[in-house]
Structure formats: C-alpha cells, structure tokens
Structure 1
Amino acid sequence: MSATISAHLARPGRPAVVARALAELTGPTRGIVELPVRLMWNSERAFDLDDPDDLLWMYENVLRETNRIEDLRELIDGRTLHRVWRRLNLPRGVRLAWESRHRDLRTA
C-alpha cells in the first residue's frame, strides 16, 4: 500500500489519508474533472482545473474527504499540490498529516 493512514483526523472519525510520495500523484492538471459523490455531495461536482479557484476547491475536497489512496492518485497531481499547498484551506489534521509525511510542503 502506498498511503499512510494518519493519526491526524481529516474530520471527526476520519483519519487523513496521505500518499507516501508526491510523485505517485499523477492526476489531471487541466480540463474538467467531476468528483464522485463520495467526495462531493453537492450536485455541482465538476471542476475546471484551468480556473485557479476551482482547482483549489477540488483539491481541498479530495484531501479532506478521501479515505482511498486511489482517489489521491487519480485526482491530485503532486507537482500541482506542492505549488498550491499554502493556498489550500484545509482542516488542521489534514495539513499536519501531509506536512508530517512531506516536510517540503511546510516551506512550499
């Protein structure tokens, strides 16, 4: 398995899921992406990754809601995550979990 289940919580009762390596995150970087209902319950689940605000909103939802490494691999791009890390509005537990595993995100 190439994810770690963190002691930090994404939200009550849900541990944050963190990729072991940012390089394994090879999700799309452009175009329209529709999140599955398990990650976004809103009827408007499509995000235009060419729109910086949409990209941030999608990343925030995926990082907060996922409990599967496959979601991270398919939906998040490691280089993009590093680039936008400081602008993401994440729960404290998610931020701590990712920064504990990927120390370079602390200074991203």
Structure 2
Amino acid sequence: MTAHHAAPATRWIHLAKRLPASLDELCGPTSGTVQLPQHLAWSGLTHFDLGDEQLLLGAYRIVLTNGMREDLIAYLNANLLTHHWPRLRIALGRPVRACWEQSFPQLATAV
C-alpha cells in the first residue's frame, strides 16, 4: 500500500471509531415512523416513514453520514441496512461507504 492510499484511511479514521462492534448491535426500528433528532436532521425532513423505501433510504443516509455510535445503534436496523445496502451505498460518499464495507464485509457481498 502506498502512502497515497493510506492517507484517506487516516483522514477518515473518525468514521471507523463511531461504528458498532457488530451489525448485530443495530437494533433500530423496522417499521413505523422515525423522528430523527435535530443533531442529525437539522435541515428539512425530520420524520421518516420506514414503510416508504425512499424515506427509509433518506433516513439511513442521514444517520450513516452524521450519526454517532449511539445514533447508529438506535436508528439503524441490521436487517434493513443489509437488505437496502445495494441502493443505499450509492447515496453515500466514498469514505462512509468504504468504512462500512471494510468493517462489515457482509455489506460488500450484499451488493
């Protein structure tokens, strides 16, 4: 690995530090409406109907991008995350996507 490839990993180390130890820790809701707190959804929509795939993907993108470990555990569900990962990963920035797929290889294989 060259220094060029190592730099992004170091730059985004804060992303890895907030991840759960296992996807099994993600025990968020699987249905109903979720209201994201202001520290996550500070602009625009704050209520997300998990039965609407577009809203679910939007909520998950916000939590994956902005959430701390406690938020990830509270609002994400491992089964939903894995199921929707192929579409969700497209909406995430490369650092977030890479961090999750490197930490949880089962996500990369769900694609």
Alignment of 1:12-23 (within 5 A): 15-16=14-15, 17-23=18-24
Going from structure 1 to structure 2, the CA distance change for 1:86 and 1:24 (only over 3 Å counts) comes to: same
The structure that is helix-richer by fraction is 2
Instruction: Tell me the equivalent position of 1:54.
Output: 55
Structure 1: any 5+ residue segments left out of the alignment?
1-5
Identity %: 38
Alignment of 1:1-108 (within 5 A): 7=10, 9=12, 15-16=14-15, 17-66=18-67, 68-88=68-88, 89-108=91-110
Greater relative contact order structure (CA < 8 Å, 6+ sep): 1
Structure 1 moving runs of 4+ over 4 Å: none
The 3-state SS of whatever aligns with 2:14 is strand
Structure 2: any 5+ residue segments left out of the alignment?
1-8
Letter in 2 for 1:86: P
Compute the RMSD of aligned alpha carbons: 1.7
Structure showing greater radius of gyration is 2
Q: TM-score, normalised by structure 2?
A: 0.81
Which string of whole-angstrom CA distances, capped at 9 and with x for unpartnered residues, describes residues 14-72 of structure 1? 93232210111000010010101111112420000010110000000000011x21101
The 3-state SS of whatever aligns with 2:31 is coil
Aligned length: 98
Cα distance in 2, alignment partners of residues 18 and 8 from structure 1: 16
Cα distance in 1, alignment partners of residues 70 and 103 from structure 2: 18
